[in-house]
């Protein structure tokens, strides 16, 4: 964190309203006190929450003259603007307020709230983001962040937790949309949970910065190209940005102001994602210290730090070594080979081997959790992609044995398949059975019986497709086991130490099946 006045030049056009050519403060002593208060707040958080050290140091402090900004503090992820007189007054009235404010807006940036509201109702998204952050702060239970009005928050948090188990901003936002908050409720929630100003959020917008008062107007949503931007646009990587810039240069065109803002915004979002990953790793390291106090924060970080699974590579982990009839280009020296062709005509000195060892799948089990929350179309998409990957990557031997098992709390249906063509037919006519509870143990008992009886002698592994936690076997199986979780909340359930884990979202499964 840089203590002191900073140049207010920034990518965010909303900062233009805060700039002055020669900032002069009515009381320099007030400005000095405000900087000292913020420095102490940073130090306090560094002591109480070690995993936030890097995050709190990301901001450049910029003092704003009186009347230039509503609220105490605001940030766009890069600059932290503060009103000096208000900071000093807040500290005088309640000494914990600056620490609480700094933690509040730091968590906003770590959880990506300023970067993910383009397709949402601005006022509700701002409110949902504040509720999610305050839930985390409440759960951390830091004395240095406690305020007199926190009791009023707890009543609402208890109600919201019944409908939003993970209390992420997305969950709370959807709840607000479904419930249809009236103006009275919205104002009451804003008074309880709003701490910082959000007017610097969402680059390129000309709105009022998330004001809650008044009716909806055209400024509540992003304008121009930002209005219809999706999260895939947000995730466009740096290489694509550089490629676009190069194309613009080659075509003799200048990069437009809008594209520059988008590039800067993506880079800032990417930087905060790295900070979130580091914080998550530190949290896991210090998990015994924080225990359940960091549960809401871990849930909030999950969508930010989530990395989509490379399912094709994931499946190849189950292959076993088999000798196949295929040229092995890795086991002969190309130098001698080409030298012979050149020296003696079409007579190579070393012939390539006609056989090679490769990872292939011969026996495999696919288990499907058919509890009540599993949808048939998602299961079919998952199975189709599994079949396509295994077929196109040549992962299977010529003769295979595949067991497709449906199970909820007990085994409902078993299909024995001897070729990928048969698997295709089964997938096309798939009918799910069960829709009860979730228990993984019956599948493992059945497969253990097949191995024990000699029905399966070269079992390469078992993949269990499920949407959540169930009863795991107490004993480690003798074969590779993986749980592929279908979760749209990005929360990865815990699995036993011997199990491989992967998480696929609904969108990810649909994309996999369309490739």
Q: What is the structure's pLDDT at 488?
A: 67
One domain for residues 255 and 129: yes
What phi and psi values does residue 115 have, to the nearest 5 degrees? -105, 0
Q: Are 33 and 92 in contact (CB under 8 A)?
A: no
Could you tell me if 98 and 136 lie in one domain?
yes
DSSP letter at 408 equals S
pLDDT of residue 108: 92
* Tally of structural domains, the chain: 2
In a domain, 328, yes or no: no
Q: Is the residue at 497 inside a domain?
A: yes
Here the CATH number for the domain that contains residue 381 is 3.40.50.410
Q: Are 392 and 479 in the same domain?
A: yes
Say if 346 falls within a structural domain: no
202 and 288 inside one domain: yes
Residues 298 and 426 in one domain: no
Q: Are 482 and 463 in contact (CB under 8 A)?
A: yes
Residue 155 within any structural domain of the chain: yes
Q: Do both 315 and 374 map to the same domain?
A: yes
Same domain, 317 and 279: no
Q: Do 250 and 104 fall into the same domain?
A: yes
What is d(CA 140, CA 136) in angstroms, rounded to the nearest whole number?
6
Q: Which of helix, strand or coil describes residue 341?
A: helix
φ, ψ of residue 366 in degrees (nearest 5): -115, 115
Query: Are 64 and 107 in the same domain?
Result: yes
Query: Would you write out the chain's pLDDT as a tens digit for each of its 515 residues?
Result: 444 444 444 456 565 555 544 444 457 788 889 999 999 999 998 888 888 888 888 888 888 876 677 788 999 888 899 988 899 999 999 999 999 999 999 999 988 888 887 778 888 999 999 999 999 888 888 899 998 888 888 888 988 988 888 888 888 998 998 888 888 888 999 999 999 988 888 644 433 334 444 333 333 333 333 333 444 444 444 555 455 555 545 544 455 777 777 788 888 888 888 888 888 887 777 655 655 566 667 777 766 665 656 677 777 677 554 444 444 555 556 776 777 777 777 776 565 555 444 556 778 899 999 886 666 678 888 888 788 777 665 555 566 788 999 998 899 999 998 887 888 888 888 888 887 888 999 999 999 999 999 999 888 889 999 877 788 998 999 998 988 887 766 666 778 889 888 877 776 665 554 44
d(CA 62, CA 7): 7
Give the CA distances from residue 266 to residues 12, 120, 280, in Å, rounded to whole numbers and listed in that order. 13, 18, 21
Q: What is the pLDDT of residue 111?
A: 87
Give a yes or no: residue 67 inside a domain: yes
Using an 8 Å Cβ cutoff, are 281 and 55 in contact? no
Q: In Å, what is the CA distance from 179 to each residue of 172, 185, 489? A: 10, 11, 20
The domain in which residue 493 lies consists of 311-322+361-514
Q: Which residues contact 3 (CB under 8 A, 6 or more apart)?
A: 35, 38, 39, 61
Domain assignment present for residue 474? The answer is yes
Q: How far apart are CA 170 and CA 340, in angstroms?
A: 66
Same domain, 271 and 316: no
Cα–Cα distance, 219 to 206 (Å, whole number)? 7
Same domain, 92 and 196: yes
């Amino acid at each position: 964190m840089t203590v002191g006045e900073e140049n207010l030049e920034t990518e965010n056009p909303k900062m233009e309203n805060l700039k002055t050519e020669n900032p002069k403060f009515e009381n320099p002593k007030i400005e000095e006190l405000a900087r000292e208060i913020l420095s102490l707040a940073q130090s306090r958080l560094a002591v109480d929450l070690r995993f936030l050290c890097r995050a709190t140091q990301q901001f450049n402090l910029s003092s704003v003259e009186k009347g230039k900004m509503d609220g105490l503090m605001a940030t766009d992820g890069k600059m932290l603007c503060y009103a000096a007189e208000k900071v000093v007054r807040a500290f005088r009235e309640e000494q914990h307020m600056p620490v609480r404010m700094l933690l509040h807006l730091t968590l906003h940036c770590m959880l990506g709230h300023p970067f993910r509201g383009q397709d949402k109702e601005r006022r509700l998204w701002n409110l949902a983001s504040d509720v999610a952050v305050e839930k985390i702060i409440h759960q951390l239970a830091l004395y240095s962040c406690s305020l007199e009005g926190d009791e009023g928050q707890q009543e609402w948090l208890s109600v919201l937790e019944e409908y939003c188990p993970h209390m992420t901003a997305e969950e709370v936002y959807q709840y607000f949309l479904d419930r249809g908050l009236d103006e009275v409720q919205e104002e009451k929630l804003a008074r309880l949970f709003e701490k910082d100003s959000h007017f610097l959020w969402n680059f390129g917008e000309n709105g009022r910065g998330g004001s809650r008062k008044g009716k909806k107007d055209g400024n509540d949503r992003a304008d121009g190209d930002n209005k219809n931007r999706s999260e895939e646009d947000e995730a466009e990587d740096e290489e694509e940005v550089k490629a676009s810039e190069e194309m613009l240069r080659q075509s003799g065109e200048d990069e437009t102001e809008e594209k520059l803002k988008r590039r800067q915004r993506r880079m800032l979002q990417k930087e905060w994602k790295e900070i979130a990953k580091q914080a998550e790793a530190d949290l896991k390291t210090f998990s015994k210290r924080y225990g359940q106090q960091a549960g809401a924060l871990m849930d909030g970080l999950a969508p930010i730090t989530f990395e989509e699974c490379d399912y094709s590579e994931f499946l190849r982990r189950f292959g076993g070594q088999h000798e196949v009839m295929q040229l092995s280009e890795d086991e002969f020296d190309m130098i001698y080979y080409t030298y012979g062709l050149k020296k003696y005509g079409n007579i190579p000195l070393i012939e390539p081997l006609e056989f090679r060892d490769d990872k292939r799948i011969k026996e495999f089990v696919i288990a499907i959790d058919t509890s009540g929350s599993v949808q048939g179309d998602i299961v079919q998409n998952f199975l189709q992609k599994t079949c396509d990957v295994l077929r196109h990557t040549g992962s299977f031997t010529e003769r295979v044995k595949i067991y497709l098992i449906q199970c909820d709390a007990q085994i409902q249906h078993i299909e024995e398949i001897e070729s990928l063509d048969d698997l295709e037919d089964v997938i096309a006519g798939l009918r799910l059975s069960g829709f009860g509870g979730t228990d993984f143990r019956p599948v493992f008992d059945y497969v253990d019986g097949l191995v024990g009886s000699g029905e399966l002698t070269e079992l390469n592994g078992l993949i269990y497709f499920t949407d959540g936690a169930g009863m795991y076997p107490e004993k480690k199986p003798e074969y590779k086991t993986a749980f592929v979780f279908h979760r749209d909340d990005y929360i990865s359930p815990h699995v036993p130490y011997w199990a491989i884990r992967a998480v696929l979202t609904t969108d990810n499964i649909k994309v996999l099946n369309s490739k």
